[in-house]
A and B are shown apart, each in its own frame.
Chain A
């Protein structure tokens, strides 16, 4: 699976949009981009995934560049409860279903 690079940490004011970038320059054509988050002392939570089109759900939006070498997770109106470590993972969708977690981005939402 392709390696991803994320900033170590980011801050965001409550109510503002949080934009979390991820670089995956070696992504293959059949690899999807997944985002999970982990609130302190809890298990990871699935947020969103995509292949090449932008995706949106009730939690977030995922913007993938045309060359697919990077993506951005957008939390449109961050709240204090969104404070967590956000992991960007790329993997081939298949029976193995392994998730390889990198170091992620620690997002701190402040008042």
Chain B
């Protein structure tokens, strides 16, 4: 099946620094990628929808200037958490939609655990 990777799998950073997370579709092209955030013992919350070559669409309450998304190619989307603070510590998960795919066309990455000290 289609594989989505994320890098890094975990990261620890100091408060105030920026962190970039990569999401790659390894064996398929993804016109659309999604970014989710999951706090401990909670469900996944969609943060933004990223379309290749255009600006991302953010969900209500998600700061676009804090969570920068770039989807420069059909196989790569990046999420940059700018000026990270401890409350941004979370599990960040991306998914990629197979271009022209069928019903199970959204494939998830393994997630990136961000810890901000």
Question: Which chain A residues have a beta carbon within 8 Å of chain B's beta carbons?
Answer: 32, 34, 38, 41-46, 49, 87, 93, 97-104
A-B contact pairs, 9 of them (CB 8 A): A41-B91, A41-B113, A43-B95, A49-B104, A97-B97, A97-B106, A98-B49, A99-B95, A104-B43
Partner of A42 from B95, B104, B106, B111 at Cβ < 8 Å: B111
- What does DSSP make chain A's interface, helix, strand, loop or mixed? loop
Question: Which chain B residues have a beta carbon within 8 Å of chain A's beta carbons?
Answer: 4, 6, 32, 34, 36, 43-46, 49, 91, 93, 95, 97, 103-111, 113
B43 contacts A103, CB within 8 Å? yes
- What does DSSP make chain B's interface, helix, strand, loop or mixed? strand
Q: Sort A-B residue pairs by CB-CB distance and give the 10 closest, nearest first.
A: A43-B108, A101-B44, A101-B43, A46-B104, A44-B108, A43-B93, A43-B111, A43-B110, A43-B109, A49-B103
Docked pose: A38 CA to B44 CA in angstroms: 10
